[in-house]
Amino acid sequence: MISHFTRAFAVAAALAVSASALAPTANAATKFDGAWSVMIVTRNGPCDPSYRFGGQIINGIIYYTGGGPVSLTGRVTPSGAISVTVSSGPNHAVGTGRLSVNSGGGTWRGQGPSGACSGNWSAQRG
């Protein structure tokens, strides 16, 4: 799978690559809103072995604005459950997991022309 897809999924699997600088960060609508640092690790398949990046949640919605041909939809529920879907060309992936106020983690799985990949993600606030 292509590198920007792995990067995007890392966001997806966890939280989001960078959000817009114009996005509101004060008066967070949920306890999970704000900046996060995300680490994605591939356990199986031909994807990049690992990738770390920054992310943002706003009003419980996960955003991706890292550029490239990536489509991401994702949300954090009030209880901290995360569900994210990412696609980039023929590649697609789904991530699930849970956040607490300052950390979280879960799993992801994806499919593309190079084959299937899966792994874990972890996130820390800030």
CATH code at 3-125: 2.40.128
Report pLDDT digits (tens) over 25-52: 445 589 999 888 788 899 999 988 987 7
Tally: H helices and E strands in the chain:
1, 8
Q: Which of 7-11, 87-91, 104-108, 116-120 shows the lowest per-residue confidence on average (mean pLDDT)?
A: 7-11
Tokens of 14: 């966890």
pLDDT above 90: residue 68: no
Domain segments of the chain as ranges: 3-125
**Distance (Å, whole) CA 119 – CA 31:** 26
Sheet strands (E) in 28-90? 34-44, 50-58, 61-62, 71-76, 81-88
